[in-house]
Structure 1
């Protein structure tokens, strides 16, 4: 490739903040897409899809390579997100399945669950590097190249209205998006720097502790395995909580010892959702089963199907709650929203 910005490059990042930053006359607000971060490089017939860790996605998304050739300028570098749709919402589980070692499987999945690319920043166009240009100028030039974009390469909506951003934060979650990204208009592109802001949803739930995995450093708790009861009373594995200081991890071993279950546990390592996959093929997923009698409160951002999308955060023990009261019914359901309505903005 012969571009003014060449791969690999680490994308610019956002730091989490608790609330939506107030408009000071300089801010732009965008939906936060839930997919794989990707920087697209195109130089004629050469296309490179770079991941957040600067390794190529190119072989896993052949349909996007063709879409980039058809829908973007001949020489361009665009930052964005790879997503897969499941109807009118994002499907992160289907997106994860796209990373597969077998070429035949990659081709099949490209047909069955085709990906889209959502563009939100422009790093280079033609012979011009835009890294030092302010974001407001980069966004203007990004919009100018989307006269020819089609269904697979789309432009994210943007607003300077704090009120509009707050409405997006509330409603767009129903389509699978997970917050708002905030960018100062004067911001140059700074690879691998957390210079933007992001606001994500946070909710709490009371969950059953049904086991733990040991930490890689030794016989201390690495993560707690969490469960919720479904409508038929079956305890389902919904995720883990793992953010504990090392001293606390050691204390938990002693505190949980009386609850270790010898037999009759509802779960096994092989039966847990996501137990063995290409992401964890070499990882030890065995766990210490606990009698499902302890309840704790965790914070989470949103659900992916029946599970927490990300690692839950421990908040407090709930000795006042009974395990059978920990059901999916307590979870807040986001307002339904249509992806096409978002992308039409």
Structure 2
């Protein structure tokens, strides 16, 4: 019998303003931070299951990764990020298009058109052993030993304990679409909650538009999916400039394909439910998250257009 079954609460990272360096006699582990789709992979006795950050089972949307995960030993549980590479860069819009495939036929087609890679950064279980209480350094060694013989699309993220190399990565990786670092302590167990740290280059990031609040062609706000998550959030009120940008783009969208397993089209925002109209997941916007007294507000900066 496997030691872990979904849903499993995931570890998260809190933002920090500068690159930390370990105290004398200690070390820190630095990993590239991919803005993709957070995914736990469970290799069970007779099947593979995949869990999103929210706890939802999303196995059907990544058939290519399911096929790859069948090579894992029974009882393996991985934590990582799904990314899609386009033109030598990670493409957030592409991976979110994969993650929101509403039918098995569409998921299969997108798997051929936009093949996924899995950047694994933790090993939570092996066989019947729950590895979460073990130090990160041990879990990391077991992870690399497990995945090195398999190769793509299941790969361990790079990791270094050299702060100078980490600083070089931080400056160089944006060229391939990697916008920051995640920092962990080698002796840390795996725990749900924000016990890791993350350093990003930019205060802004991309989000996928999955719905509109208000009139379809002149929305007041947007329902968005942010990197690493699958639970929609409602943006703040849109500026006139952004609303003007969206009008033409929304008019040209095909109707959405909605599956029975899709999340409800209403979002709980500090105790109040806000309904939205689903749209086809084809638009990406640049957003900034701003902390307020009560919660984090997501401000839409502009509509992303193809370069």
* TM-score, normalization by structure 1: 0.64
Secondary structure of 1:181 counterpart: strand
Superposition pairs of residues 256-335 of structure 1, within 5 angstroms:
267=245, 269=247, 271=249, 283=276, 307-308=285-286, 310-311=287-288, 313=290
Residue 266 of structure 1 deviates from its aligned partner by: 5.0
Corresponding residue for residue 15 of structure 1? 14
Residue 95 of structure 1 deviates from its aligned partner by: 1.2
**C-alpha distance in 2 between matches for 1:139 and 1:93:** 29
Superposition pairs of residues 120-131 of structure 1, within 5 angstroms:
120-131=121-132
Corresponding residue for residue 260 of structure 1? none
Residue 274 of structure 1 deviates from its aligned partner by: 10
Secondary structure of 2:249 counterpart: coil
Residue 212 of structure 1 deviates from its aligned partner by: 8.2
Which structure has the greater CA radius of gyration? 1
Corresponding residue for residue 107 of structure 2? 106
Output the aligned Cα RMSD.
3.3
Secondary structure of 2:247 counterpart: coil
**C-alpha distance in 1 between matches for 2:183 and 2:246:** 42
**C-alpha distance in 2 between matches for 1:200 and 1:67:** 30
**1:88 to 2:65 alignment:** no
Superposition pairs of residues 55-204 of structure 1, within 5 angstroms:
55-70=56-71, 72-98=72-98, 99-191=100-192, 193-202=193-202
Secondary structure of 2:238 counterpart: strand
Task: Give unmatched runs, 5+ long, in structure 1.
Answer: 205-210, 228-236, 238-264, 286-304, 315-326, 328-345
Secondary structure of 1:63 counterpart: helix
**C-alpha distance in 1 between matches for 2:222 and 2:114:** 36
**C-alpha distance in 2 between matches for 1:212 and 1:74:** 48
**C-alpha distance in 1 between matches for 2:252 and 2:30:** 34
Corresponding residue for residue 272 of structure 2? none
Q: Note closer, same or farther for the CA distance 1:224–1:157 as it changes in structure 2 (3 Å cut).
A: same
Secondary structure of 1:224 counterpart: coil
Corresponding residue for residue 269 of structure 2? none
Superposition pairs of residues 5-44 of structure 1, within 5 angstroms:
5-24=4-23, 25-44=26-45
Does the 8 Å contact 1:45/1:69 carry over to 2? Answer: no
Does the 8 Å contact 1:212/1:222 carry over to 2? Answer: no
Does the 8 Å contact 1:23/1:161 carry over to 2? Answer: no
**C-alpha distance in 1 between matches for 2:252 and 2:93:** 10
**C-alpha distance in 2 between matches for 1:183 and 1:124:** 19
Does the 8 Å contact 2:135/2:186 carry over to 1? Answer: yes
**1:225 to 2:226 alignment:** no
**C-alpha distance in 1 between matches for 2:143 and 2:154:** 12
**C-alpha distance in 2 between matches for 1:157 and 1:48:** 25
Secondary structure of 1:108 counterpart: helix
| Count of aligned pairs between the two proteins | 248
Does the 8 Å contact 1:44/1:69 carry over to 2? Answer: no
Secondary structure of 1:311 counterpart: strand
Residue 180 of structure 1 deviates from its aligned partner by: 0.4
Secondary structure of 1:269 counterpart: helix
**C-alpha distance in 1 between matches for 2:148 and 2:180:** 27
Does the 8 Å contact 1:18/1:199 carry over to 2? Answer: yes
Q: Note closer, same or farther for the CA distance 1:146–1:53 as it changes in structure 2 (3 Å cut).
A: same
Secondary structure of 1:222 counterpart: coil
Q: Note closer, same or farther for the CA distance 1:146–1:226 as it changes in structure 2 (3 Å cut).
A: farther
